[in-house]
Amino acid sequence: MKYIRLTKEQLNELHPEFITFLATQSIDKKEWDELKKSKPEVAEQEIDVFSDMIWDRAMTNVSYIDHFSEHFVFLFKCVNTTVFSYVIKTLNSDINFLTKEGINWLSQNITSNLVEIHQGKKEIANDRNGELFKLVKQGGIISKGELYTKLQALLNQ
């Protein structure tokens, strides 16, 4: 398996797509129910293949990933095989970017000496989607890029 198995909740949400997927495998509802009973390992393999397909499609469409920790904010912009990044660090150890107060503090102090911002760029030689998935597994959140775009505009003024 390249990614991780979808949760039961995710599979329930994607039920229509899963039915279509099974149909492409020439498996109807009766056969699926029988497969789950008589060959659960084969049924799980089908779920794994479907999960990989869904995750791969999702990662292909990712343009931005945001990751917050107590003292850092990582903002990633993904363009083809290039990932651009901003790393925001607070030098004030009392600030926690995982709280609303910490984010409010950052917005008020983004240009102060208590905030460091570094830019980066990384080329992904192979398996772009796998690399982006690692960021998501580490706590990254797929976003629409609002924070990245705002920070870029602020820095380019």
pLDDT in tens, the chain (157 residues): 999 999 999 999 999 999 999 999 899 999 999 999 999 999 999 999 999 999 999 999 999 999 999 999 999 999 999 999 999 999 999 999 999 999 999 999 998 999 999 999 999 988 999 999 999 999 999 999 999 999 999 888 6
| Distance set, CA 118 to CA 73, 84, 85, 115 (Å) | 11, 11, 8, 10
Domain residue ranges in the chain: 8-60, 64-155
The structure tokens 């009973």 sit at: 37
Asked if 106 and 72 touch (Cβ cutoff 8 Å), the reply is no
Distance, CA of 26 to CA of 29 (rounded, Å): 10
Distance, CA of 16 to CA of 3 (rounded, Å): 21
Considering Cα of 22, then 28, then 30, then 34, what sign does the dihedral take? Answer: negative
- Predicted TM-score (pTM) of this structure: 0.84
CB 28: neighbour CB atoms within 10 A? 12
pLDDT at 125: 85
Considering Cα of 3, then 7, then 12, then 13, what sign does the dihedral take? Answer: negative
